[in-house]
Structure 1
Amino acid sequence: MSILDVISHALLWIFIKQLIVVSAQFDFFNRQQSFRNAVNRRTTTSKPCDLHADPNNRRVFLMNVNGEMRERPCAFGTLYSQRTCDCSDYDPDANLNGRRCRAPLYIPFNTEPIKDHGGTNIAMGNNGRVRVFDNVGNFNGNGAVTIWMYSGIDFGEHLGITLNFRDIITGGNSEQVLVSNCFYNSIGSVEIVIQPANQLVVFRVTTDKPSSAELSIPYKRQSWTTVAYTYNGNTLIGKVNNQVKSSNITGKIAVSPGSLRIGLCNGRGFVGNIDEFRLCQPILATLNDS
């Protein structure tokens, strides 16, 4: 046998061995088993829903926070659905001048990296000082979550924001930003801030008239507090738990070159926890029905 024949037989033997190994891995000779494995690979287990419906109020849901079931509000114009485990149903009774709301931005602060869970994957940045512990965002006075797409955005005449917060220390900055679109040393055209020394939540809006409005509502220090901000083209409405105030003001919300920031803006850093942040922008009801 020539050397060429020996090499040919050796190569053939190597090829046959490799074919056997590959066949075993992919079950080429057992089509039934191969199909069953393929089906198993495609079958996934859905993550169980850790939220619960409130039997008396579909505009809220219940969430376990540190072993305690806490009430969390749905975004304006939405109702909680246990089927989808979120506030995905539209509220037929919610109406802002013929418009209804959607919540394109939803930050539950339950995972790291912190991200949008509103279904549109809006990009955001964490300056590295905001952490998530026990399903809430922890802010140390230097931490900020920045949503870049809201830089220079025209909110128009309708905007809603809801969030929960708890300040956790005395002292700190005299004014602390929960959310703002401030730019450098200017305050934002949209702001929710707290003034801990006065135990006040302050709501602000500036319109293109130009004009501005500000509301102050008391809150209880170091306790979980739910706030809601609404502007509808005619009125600024602030809500702190069950307390509501309003101020008449008209015009479109002034466009700010600043991004939307949670927890820190132009040095006014918040110290405490933020949870269940939602930003709501209304769209025509006909679009909701499509």
Structure 2
Amino acid sequence: MAVKVLYISVSLAKEENIDFSVQSDLTPVSHEVGSSSDVGFSTANEDNLHSVAPSKLTSVKHEMTSSTDTRFSGGPCSTECKGHVSCYLEHNCTNYKHCYALNAAECHCAMRTCSFGTFWNPKINTCDRAPNVLCKYDPCLTLTPGTTYPSNFNCRTYYVCSKGNRSLPKCCEEGNGFLKSQGCTRSTSCKVECVEQRRLVTTATTFTKAPKYRCYFRDIIGRNDKYYNVIANVEQDCPPGTVFKPVLCRCTKDSAHNHQRCTPMVNVSFTGERIINLSHESYIQVENVTRGKSEKSNTWFGIFNGKSSSIQIPRFSAVALPRLTIKMSFFSENSTGSRYQILVSNCRSSANPWNIPEVVSVQTPSVAIVVDTVDKELTFLGYSDDDTAMSAVFTLPFKVNSWNAVKLIYNGSWLYGRVRSLDQNSTEVKGQKPLSGRLAPSQGPVRVGRCSNGDAFRGKIRRIEIYDCITL
């Protein structure tokens, strides 16, 4: 990602000679616009409730360009990813496919959606500001400047065509919704933030009426966990625990899954012949991590050499996370190596440079836990896509030559940290900092153990769990 996700930019407006302020010149009308679907725990899991390619462009041949996230070859996705084990494939302006090995035997390509105001940019392998991307499916290439069209992301947002035939993001004033025929109009049901991917307001027992604008999604007979996007010309999955409701034009909670618990996207196991992810949700790539076993506790762990060892999780690349939980257990050895070592980080994101010694100058993570081997502290970092929010940074002590359990939780309002030593004299410390918005999307995978040669972790790790929800 190149920028933050508040896409109403004054500088951009000056460049394109278009007013990017929230629209306020509104005429009240009787139409009501439904607001959008419930914000899920993971933007990526919501798999595409917006696409801006119009139906008249869907016949254009898709020349899929791939950008790989690994240098290794082979695996189930070798054909789709041109010899690589995983990759990202361009689909249209706002949608892309993430292909990765599932259960080490099947290539799974999941359709993903960029945040509002961004288009997929295959040149940098991430979602980028729409005006920065020359997308061949941009509707404004065939529309006159000043033309508007709905974003299909939520009820308030839309795009306007610039003089340079590029799509520019806009958002109606609070209390209003966008209608293709009238523009921004008064609405009592459109109650959604500009960056939220919602479609309908719900109460405990009822739903509001279906939106009066056209629904671009169709149900698939016999598969209520999927729907067909007629604009993107592709089948798409509902988030886990939801089913597609044609009358609402969205995926909504399935009453049969109300008991669904928060489960990990990543649950690394060091037991067995190789290091694997026990969760089927995400592919992991292990590099130069050896396994060891404690004879005393009969538990296996990963040994990180402080140079090239890492575990990469591509699943979280280009994903803005409204919620996140990370649980780890590590053993930091009092030995040679870099002072500041990465325990876990998404390394490069749209975050501003941190300008702190714990983060290498070329790295811009939006979430990280960094080990300070000199002061015996863990630094917790958080950076959101909310332009008005301050970044969150705090430190907590840990014990050297002892196993430590560490937890990071982000709930959309606060960044929490906890460190607990696992020796006989167990101690626990906690910290927190306010942080609003979503954790800014990264330009690559989440990495355990290193971002670069100068920050590699030296020690042992026996627990790695990552959730896109909140669990205690």
**Normalising to structure 1: TM-score of the pair?**
0.59
Q: CA deviation at 1:226?
A: 0.3
Alignment correspondent of 1:103: 264
Bigger radius of gyration, 1 or 2?
Answer: 1
Question: In structure 1, what is the Cα distance between the partners aligned to 2:380 and 2:303?
Answer: 22
Does the alignment pair 1:269 with 2:456? Answer: yes
Alignment correspondent of 1:227: 406
Q: C-alpha deviations, 1:114-168, integer Å up to 9, x for none?
A: 11012x15211122x211111100000120111122211221x210000000012
Q: CA deviation at 1:229?
A: 0.1
Which amino acid in 2 is paired with 1:174? R
Question: Contact conserved, 2:331 with 2:404, CA < 8 A, in 1?
Answer: yes
Question: In structure 2, what is the Cα distance between the partners aligned to 1:159 and 1:168?
Answer: 28
Q: C-alpha deviations, 1:53-109, integer Å up to 9, x for none?
A: xxxxxxxxxxxxxxxxxxxxxxxxxxxxxxxxxxxxxxxxxxxxxx96321210132
Question: In structure 2, what is the Cα distance between the partners aligned to 1:131 and 1:111?
Answer: 12
SS of residue in 2 equivalent to 1:201: strand
Which amino acid in 1 is paired with 2:401? Q
Q: C-alpha deviations, 1:212-234, integer Å up to 9, x for none?
A: 11110011111100000001111
**Normalising to structure 2: TM-score of the pair?**
0.37
Alignment correspondent of 2:319: 153
Describe how 1:1-290 pairs up with structure 2 within 5 A.
101-118=262-279, 120=280, 122-127=282-287, 129-134=288-293, 135-141=300-306, 142-155=308-321, 157-183=322-348, 185-210=362-387, 211-241=390-420, 242-267=428-453, 268-282=455-469
Question: In structure 2, what is the Cα distance between the partners aligned to 1:111 and 1:212?
Answer: 40
Which segments of 5 or more consecutive residues in structure 1 lack a partner in the other structure?
A: 1-98, 284-290
SS of residue in 2 equivalent to 1:149: helix
Name the CA shift for 1:100/1:216 in 2 (closer, same or farther; >3 Å): farther
Alignment correspondent of 1:61: none
Q: CA deviation at 1:171?
A: 3.2
Which amino acid in 2 is paired with 1:132? R
Q: Tell me how large the CA RMSD over aligned residues is.
A: 1.8
Q: C-alpha deviations, 1:231-274, integer Å up to 9, x for none?
A: 11111100001211111111111011121111011231000001
Displaced runs of 4 or more, over 4 A: none
Which amino acid in 2 is paired with 1:130? V
Which amino acid in 1 is paired with 2:446? L
Alignment correspondent of 1:14: none
Question: Contact conserved, 2:334 with 2:373, CA < 8 A, in 1?
Answer: no
Q: CA deviation at 1:205?
A: 0.7
Question: In structure 2, what is the Cα distance between the partners aligned to 1:109 and 1:180?
Answer: 20
Which amino acid in 2 is paired with 1:251? G
| More helix, by proportion | 1
| More strand, by proportion | 1
Question: Contact conserved, 1:115 with 1:121, CA < 8 A, in 2?
Answer: no
Question: Contact conserved, 1:194 with 1:202, CA < 8 A, in 2?
Answer: yes
SS of residue in 2 equivalent to 1:282: coil
Question: Contact conserved, 2:348 with 2:366, CA < 8 A, in 1?
Answer: no
Question: In structure 1, what is the Cα distance between the partners aligned to 2:439 and 2:400?
Answer: 30
SS of residue in 2 equivalent to 1:197: coil
Which amino acid in 2 is paired with 1:123? Y
Question: In structure 1, what is the Cα distance between the partners aligned to 2:331 and 2:451?
Answer: 18
Question: Contact conserved, 1:131 with 1:139, CA < 8 A, in 2?
Answer: yes
Question: In structure 2, what is the Cα distance between the partners aligned to 1:107 and 1:126?
Answer: 10
SS of residue in 2 equivalent to 1:101: coil
Which amino acid in 2 is paired with 1:150? F
Moved more, 160-169 or 205-214: 205-214
Question: In structure 2, what is the Cα distance between the partners aligned to 1:150 and 1:111?
Answer: 26
Question: Contact conserved, 2:312 with 2:446, CA < 8 A, in 1?
Answer: yes
Question: In structure 2, what is the Cα distance between the partners aligned to 1:187 and 1:139?
Answer: 23
Which segments of 5 or more consecutive residues in structure 2 lack a partner in the other structure?
A: 1-259, 294-299, 350-361, 421-427
Question: Contact conserved, 2:327 with 2:465, CA < 8 A, in 1?
Answer: yes
Question: In structure 1, what is the Cα distance between the partners aligned to 2:365 and 2:338?
Answer: 17
Question: In structure 2, what is the Cα distance between the partners aligned to 1:220 and 1:282?
Answer: 28
Name the CA shift for 1:121/1:280 in 2 (closer, same or farther; >3 Å): closer
Question: In structure 2, what is the Cα distance between the partners aligned to 1:274 and 1:201?
Answer: 15
SS of residue in 1 equivalent to 2:365: coil
Question: In structure 1, what is the Cα distance between the partners aligned to 2:416 and 2:403?
Answer: 20
